[in-house]
Structure 1
Amino acid sequence: MIPFKSLIQIDKSSAVPVFLQVSNQLAHFIRAGTLLAGQRLPGTRQLAELLTLNRQTIVAAYDEGLAQGWLESKTGSGTYVAAHFPEVKPQALTLDSTAPSPQTIASKTPGYTFESIPFLHRPILTQTTGLHLDDGFPDIRLAPMDELSRAYRSYFRWGNPQAHFGYGDTKGHLLLREQLSAHLNETRGLRTTSDNILITRGSIMGVHLASQVLLRPGDVVVTGETNYVGATMNFQRAGATLVTVPVDQHGLDVEALAQVCAQQKSIRMVFVTPHHHYPTTVTLRPDRRIRLLQLAEQYGFIVLEDDYDYDFHYLSRPILPLASADPKGMVVYIGSLTKSVAPAFRIGYVVAPSELIDELARLRRIIDRQGDPMLEFAVGQLFKTGDLKRHFRKALRTYQARRDRFCDLLTNELAQYVQFAKPDGGMAVWARFDPAIDLEKLALRAGQQGLFFSNGVSHNPPGQRLNCTRFGFASSTEDELELSIRVLKKIL
């Protein structure tokens, strides 16, 4: 005799309806072998009395079990465990045999093995509240939310609903690709059409797709000695062999790259962030840009150019991307609106010859069938109406003022502790602390006092301690920046 009264536990304070609690626990006992295939269950009236429940609750529980296929009903005979289940070795009936609660039913460890890849273990950056000198995020308070809301509403009023809410183009919404093509041609000196653009969910997706399509295990990828960790992880995941070259105040050391090219049998790819090198924010000097493109043509390697914050340069017109001066089609250009508007706007893009774009789109299709057509349409509308360009101009003025104020604060208040170079653009300062200062402990203590910033560990090349970090200034007002420096100075 199965002791249903002690086995089935009812929690009337739970949000799960009582009949589902009964049904779920019966299913658990069937999976565990406590209830066997073909076994007859008590009648609804009898089980209701045992559990002190309304009979209709048990009727509903049995109906749920019938609908889910755990139970079967035999006319004139009663309700039974379905006969088609395989034989399961019954578990001992102990006090621990009750069905787990919904909070504990999923175990931490699976019953199979898998490889956990060490280089993928990296803390998740989130937008923190309170004071923060982040990695270089935009201020979401400046984002054109009203304009975006209007553009979203127009999506529901415009065109064919079937086309709007069905499957779309894997490359991204045509309106955004057309508008983005025009914008890139105008501001970056590119020569593109919509066929040269793939819309992605942020620049990191573009790096991932390019790595998977263009790299094979053993291919050599060259990066700066300090580099964007997200890109490095993707190259490692693709099985590439990583080679690093120094980065100085003028960007990637291209002559060191030339030596690597002469020594290696072949180099498949060079990854660069030439506009503002990540993480150090330095700009790749024009002569090095020319030399890099010459080397790419000479040795046949791909230049993967990540231009993550081109829209924010504070010295008149910014230096044009490598892709604008690429006569042989060696550059794959990646950008993002995430840093330009808000991190939640997961829109990035890859610009390349159309044959590569087609292949990237085929791979994207089996990862993420398409992006967010509504968001892509809305952002395309903001480009079309000029609202997004007006936002860029407003944000540029605001971020420049914040950069100037922040750099003044660092100079006047923390000069004895921190060295830095005032960045020409971007949204962060690369700060080098006195070697006597433990940056990890400093970041921890600052966090305890309501100021968040990175401890810089993720920027350290293997075996080195740079004692540097990125101080993002764009997402904080000038008053918030002053408070942040005050907290930092007090701790130091």
Structure 2
Amino acid sequence: MSSPVLLSLSSFVTLDRNTSTPLFVQLAQQIINGIQRGFLATGAKLPGTRIVGDQLNLHRKTVIAAYDELQAQGWIDIIPNKGTFVLLQSKTKQAIPSAKPPLSSSQYPTKTGYDIQASNILDNPFEENIVPYSFSDGNTDIRLTQVKNLSLQYSSSMNRKGSLKRMSQYHENGSLYFKEQLSNYLNLSRGLHISKFNLLITRSSEMSIYLIAKVVLKPLDKVIVAELSNFAVNMTLLQAGATLETIPLDEDGISIAALKDKLKAGPIRMLYITPHHHYPTTVTLSAQRRLELLQLANEYGFVIVEDDYDYDFHYDKAAVLPLASADTNGMVIYTGTFGKSLAPAFRTGFVVAPHNLIQEMNKYLGIIDRQGDIIMEQTLGEMIEEGEIHRHLKKSLKVYRDRRDNMSELLNGMLKEHISFDIPNGGLATWVEFYQTKSLMSIKERCLKHGLLVPRHILYQNRQISAMRIGFGHMDTQEMEESFSILKRVLESF
């Protein structure tokens, strides 16, 4: 009759002969795991090395090496002429827990054995692209990225003299070289007046907003956003403990009159806006309202967070300069994404603010992202200095402008009976409103059956509005035609 211990070993020891981990290490690790989880009782006698080798199809020397490893770590004791036994305690003197073996050794707990603080606010609203065609809220097209050139640039930066030293060190303040290049770039392209000390480099725009909220907001601080606003940012602000209140917007941007009413009702801490191309409607905040907004911030002392998420994409006229370019009292925090026209891995977020705020934000950045990506920052800095960013953006803009025009023609030609829209002067998306109130979730479900994903987060529907924010940047002509053909069939089926 087989030994119970031998049967136990064969029930939870599974060896992978295709991995680089030596078999004796795998065996030792899984026996340790078996002891910890109660498969092997404390004091139990283990089978001999020859028997284990036969049972698990291992060379006896492999089993001997595993037993030696277990003895060295203090999990077993090998007594000459008596046998090999599971120790009551490991060398760390911690008692080995006794437990009833679970039904399957491969089973891992589905839930923690302790309470955790779950967040419904931060549930992921995005959906996977599981069908041939997909709408977005304004993504770029990875296919336009010259990946080979980017890879060569990155490789060249890694091989330069001093790169090994840079990679071996922590850089809590990031690459000063990149900050110098980026500050020059922003000054020239956006009318700012900053130095490298006014910049914080982050991994993404989401990280930037998180850090801003962490430093600037306290629980229950009142934050004003537009009635239609960036859902992901709202989630972050709510998670920070802020109280969100909304104000309406029209063809000239957010309502200054409504903001004044809010200020009369009580103090506010922050206003979050996307004035260049409002998210999601794409309208631009008028010059007059920009001036009034800055005056109100100076008068009432609230913070303006200006998210310029797609400043680089403008087609018909020169881009409107950000509010931050006219801020003389340090009331505006300016944030955006650099390299959005590149592959996602080559993008980076940034925050522009007075130096004292940058210093405080950098303390938190040092906790959540101390290492950073110094080589990537070096690469992006070189691309700015050598003009590569400008050349790539110039080529991309022509393609995205053509796609915007093509999408406008298709919307007019195929869906004009169902929708209204204005051709955006920039950005990567079009705001489309439906004449008749239809269930957008029903439209979404029917489109999916025909191979078109309409993500939930691009849908906007309430008693006053039924609309979608449809990105054109990621779709070529054929993809647009197929997608809008599906949408047309669905709309006509109601």
With normalisation by structure 1, the TM-score equals 0.90
Give the Cα separation in 2 of the matches to 1:477 and 1:436: 29
Task: Check conservation: 1:43, 1:79, Cα contact below 8 A.
Answer: yes
For 1:400-419, what aligned pairs fall within 5 Å after superposition?
400-419=401-420
Amino acid in the other structure paired with 1:139: D
- Structural mapping, 1:162-311, within 5 Å: 162-264=164-266, 266-311=267-312
CA distance 1:310–1:68, shift in 2 (3 Å): farther
Aligned to 2:66: 61
Aligned to 2:49: 44
1:314 aligned partner: 315
1:179 match: secondary structure:
helix
Change in Cα spacing, 1:301 to 1:57, as seen in structure 2 (3 Å) is same
| Whole-Å separation in 2 of the counterparts to 1:444 and 1:273 | 30
Give the CA deviation at 1:97.
Answer: 4.6
Find the counterpart in structure 1 of residue 105 from structure 2: 99
What per-residue deviation string (whole Å, max 9, x for no partner) do you get for residues 349-392 of structure 1?
00111111111111100011132112111111111111111111
Alignment of 1:309-348 (within 5 A): 309-337=310-338, 339-348=340-349
What is the aligned partner in structure 1 of residue 95 from structure 2? 86
Tell me which residue corresponds to 1:486: 485
Q: Find the residue that maps to 1:119 and give its secondary structure.
A: coil
SS of residue paired to 1:26: helix
Q: Which runs of 5+ in 2 are unaligned?
A: none
SS in 1 for 2:469: strand
2:158 corresponds to? 156
For 2:342 and 2:295, locate their aligned partners in 1 and report how far apart those are by CA, in whole Å: 34
Q: Does the CA-based 8 Å contact 1:252-1:284 persist in structure 2?
A: yes
* 1:481 Cα deviation from its structure 2 partner: 1.6
Alpha-carbon contact 1:198-1:361 (below 8 Å) kept: yes
* Other-structure match for 1:398: 399
Amino acid at match of 2:120: P
Instruction: List gaps (5 residues or longer) in structure 1.
Output: none
SS of equivalent to 1:120: coil
| Distance (whole Å) between structure 2 residues aligned to residue 179 and residue 115 of structure 1 | 42
Sort the Cα spacing of 1:201 and 1:125 in 2 relative to 1 into closer, same or farther, 3 A: farther
Q: Percent identity?
A: 38
1:31 aligns with 2:36: yes
Aligned residues: 482
Single out whichever of 288-297 and 11-20 deviates more from structure 2: 11-20
Indicate the larger mover: 21-30 or 468-477: 21-30
**1:447 paired to 2:448:** yes
**Structure 2 CA distance for aligned equivalents of residues 289 and 353 of structure 1:** 20
- Separation of aligned partners in 1, 2:435 and 2:114: 48
Q: 8 Å contact 2:229–2:279 — kept in the other structure?
A: yes
- 3-state secondary structure, aligned to 1:275: coil
- Cα deviation for residue 288 of structure 1 reads 0.8
CA–CA separation in structure 1 for the residues paired with 2:464 and 2:18: 51
Structure 1 residue 458: deviation in Å?
6.2
After superposition, the Cα gap between the structure-2 partners of 1:169 and 1:32, relative to the gap in structure 1 and judged at 3 Å, is closer
Amino acid at match of 1:370: Q
User: Using the alignment, how far apart are the partners of 1:357 and 1:233 within structure 2?
Assistant: 23
**CA positional deviation for 1:226:** 1.0
Cα deviation 1:101-158 (Å, max 9, x = unaligned)? xxx3x32211111121111112335677743321101111222333322321221232
Which letter does structure 2 place at the counterpart of 1:472? G
In structure 1, what is the Cα distance between the partners aligned to 2:54 and 2:189? 77
- How do residues 364-379 of structure 1 correspond to structure 2 at under 5 angstroms? 364-379=365-380
What CA deviation, in whole Å up to 9, does each residue of 1:75-123 have, x standing for no partner? 665433233242644527xxx65522xxx3x322111111211111123
Q: Which amino acid aligns with 2:313?
A: F
For 1:295 and 1:238, the matched residues in 2 are separated by 25
Deviation digits for residues 324-347 of structure 1 (CA, Å, limit 9, x no counterpart): 011111000001025332333340
* Structure 2 CA distance for aligned equivalents of residues 51 and 202 of structure 1: 49
* TM superposition score normalised by structure 2: 0.90
Post-superposition shift, 1:216? 0.6
Distance 2:148 2:104 in 1: 53
What are the within-5 Å matches in structure 2 for residues 103-118 of structure 1?
Answer: 104=107, 106-118=108-120
User: Is contact 1:70–1:81 with CA below 8 Å preserved after alignment?
Assistant: yes
Measure, in 2, the Cα distance between the counterparts of 1:180 and 1:127. Answer: 34
Structure 1 residues 167 and 125, CA, compared in 2 at 3 Å: closer, same or farther?
Answer: farther
When the two chains are superposed, the root-mean-square deviation of aligned CA atoms in Å is 2.5
Change beyond 3 A, Cα 1:112–1:466: farther
Any idea what the Cα deviations from partners look like across 1:423-456, whole Å, max 9, x if unmatched?
1110001112244432222223323333233245
Q: Following the alignment from structure 1 to structure 2, what is the Cα–Cα distance between the partners of residues 217 and 360?
A: 18
- In 2, Cα distance between the equivalents of 1:473 and 1:295? 36
Q: Which shifted more, 253-262 or 19-28? A: 19-28
